[in-house]
């Protein structure tokens, strides 16, 4: 597999007052195309710093970052903007959805920046939401959704532009265990099926085991960089997703919708029954009562 992300002697030093904080010390990395790469380490070890630098959100103190052969570390802001539009997707720990926009509009946002027409991008956004099992939520605002749902919108937004690389900093940090697993599995499936390089920061060792590569940081140094073979990865994933059934989120939503409809029909049938019984009650000496009952039955789809 060709190398997708490469760093050379990547170094980041923060100056806090007179003190120097070495967040990253001379890091050399290679991440291959289509790899699921997990960055782990203790708090303060430099995971976020590394990810931000890989994504070009922050300039290194020294060294080089190249994505797909392009020197990201040397681009100016506008070049980076275009590069991100075309090649990168982002998933944030705190979702970072725009509150005034609906789920679909949020997902379509990166496409809007590329100048795509509203009709076209909304279509793609809705498709992407369906993949995330949120087809029914396209018109909802973020405040009307749960955390897990919001993060699924955030994931749809990262995938909508068909990027080469997706960066995710603690994407499941705000979610409960079950949702975490669900969301994680969806992300992996979507990334792998589109051959997208996926770089994820997490502080949970357990979660990182699902990747092709696990990079462990400590005090700004890479202390381990292990590439898992397929068998180990499969075993790890089976263990991680043991509690989840096989269904995809989309299938799940369809199923839920069916349940809901059945429930509604059941409620309706009950109501009709109720009407009929009421009409049959002897003390209701109103012959029109029966007509009402019939009209109600007539409405039954």
Token digits of residue 230: 């397929």
What DSSP string describes 101-121?
Answer: S-HHHHHHHHHHHHT--HHHH
Among 109, 250, 254, 276, binds another protein (CB under 8 A): 109
* Subset of 168-207 contacting another protein (CB under 8 A): 169-170, 173
Q: What angle do CA 40, 84, 132 make, to 5 degrees?
A: 65
* Subset of 21-50 contacting Mg ion (CB under 5 A): 48
What is the contact mask toward ligand ATP in residues 24 to 63, using x (rule: CB under 6 A)? -----------------x-xxxxxxx--------------
Pairwise CA distance, residues 291 & 296, whole Å = 9
Coil/strand/helix, residue 23 = strand
What is the contact mask toward Mg ion in residues 53 to 92, using x (rule: CB under 5 A)? ----------------------------------------
Percent of the chain as helix, strand, coil, to the nearest 5: 45, 25, 30
Among 41, 110, 142, 293, binds another protein (CB under 8 A): 110
Q: What angle do CA 4, 87, 96 make, to 5 degrees?
A: 115
Pairwise CA distance, residues 102 & 110, whole Å = 14
For CA atoms 245, 251, 256, 258, give the dihedral sign: negative
Q: Examine residue 203 and tell whether it contacts ligand ATP (CB under 6 A).
A: yes
Q: Examine residue 93 and tell whether it contacts Mg ion (CB under 5 A).
A: no
Q: Examine residue 221 and tell whether it contacts ligand ATP (CB under 6 A).
A: no
CA dihedral 124, 67, 21, 26 (to 10 degrees): 150
Whichever of 110 and 133 has its CB closer to another protein, that residue is 110
Pairwise CA distance, residues 290 & 278, whole Å = 9
Q: Examine residue 85 and tell whether it contacts another protein (CB under 8 A).
A: yes
Q: Are 23 and 46 in contact (CB under 8 A)?
A: yes
Scanning the structure block, which residue is given the tokens 């007052």?
17
Scanning the structure block, which residue is given the tokens 């990166």?
110
Q: Taking CB within 5 to 8 Å according to partner kind, which of ligand ATP, another protein, Mg ion, none is near residue 299? A: none
Q: Examine residue 94 and tell whether it contacts another protein (CB under 8 A).
A: yes
Token digits of residue 122: 């909304």
Cβ-proximal residues to 248 (8 Å cutoff; 6+ apart), any chain? 133, 186, 189
* Subset of 222-241 contacting another protein (CB under 8 A): none
Q: How far is the CB of 170 from ligand ATP (least distance, A)?
A: 7
Q: How far is the CB of 203 from ligand ATP (least distance, A)?
A: 5
Q: How far is the CB of 51 from ligand ATP (least distance, A)?
A: 8
Q: Taking CB within 5 to 8 Å according to partner kind, which of another protein, ligand ATP, Mg ion, none is near residue 81? A: another protein
* Subset of 137-176 contacting ligand ATP (CB under 6 A): none
Task: Give me the residues that bind ligand ATP (CB under 6 A), please.
Answer: 14, 16, 21, 23, 41, 43-49, 203
Task: Give me the residues that bind another protein (CB under 8 A), please.
Answer: 52, 57-58, 77-78, 81-82, 84-86, 88, 90, 92-94, 96, 98-100, 109-110, 112-115, 117-118, 157, 161, 169-170, 173
């Amino acid at each position: 597999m060709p190398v997708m992300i490469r760093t050379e002697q990547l170094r980041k030093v923060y100056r806090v007052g007179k003190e120097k904080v070495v967040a990253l010390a001379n890091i050399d990395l290679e991440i291959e195309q289509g790899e699921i790469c997990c960055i782990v380490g203790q708090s303060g070890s430099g995971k976020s710093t590394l990810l931000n630098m890989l994504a070009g959100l922050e300039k290194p103190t020294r060294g080089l970052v190249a994505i797909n052969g392009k020197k990201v570390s040397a681009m100016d802001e506008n070049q980076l903007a275009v590069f991100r539009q075309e090649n990168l997707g982002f998933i944030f720990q705190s979702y970072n959805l725009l509150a005034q926009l609906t789920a679909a509009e949020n997902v379509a946002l990166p496409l809007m920046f590329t100048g795509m027409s509203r009709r076209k991008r909304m279509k793609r956004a809705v498709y992407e939401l369906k993949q995330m099992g949120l087809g029914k939520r396209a018109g909802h605002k973020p405040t009307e959704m749960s955390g897990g749902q919001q993060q699924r919108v955030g994931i749809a937004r990262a995938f909508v532009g068909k990027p080469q690389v997706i960066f995710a900093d603690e994407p499941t940090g705000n979610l409960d265990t079950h949702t975490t697993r669900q969301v994680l599995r969806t992300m992996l499936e979507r990334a792998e099926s589109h051959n997208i390089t996926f770089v994820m920061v997490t502080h949970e060792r357990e979660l990182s085991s699902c990747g092709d590569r696990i990079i462990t940081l400590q005090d700004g140094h890479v202390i381990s960089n292990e590439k898992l073979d397929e068998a180990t990865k499969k075993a790890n994933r089976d263990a991680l997703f043991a509690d989840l059934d096989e269904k995809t989120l989309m299938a799940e939503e369809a199923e839920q919708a069916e349940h809901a409809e059945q429930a509604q029909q059941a409620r309706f049938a009950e109501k009709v029954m109720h009407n009929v019984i009421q009409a049959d009650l002897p003390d209701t000496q109103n012959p029109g009562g029966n007509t009402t009952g019939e009209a109600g039955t007539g409405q039954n789809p």
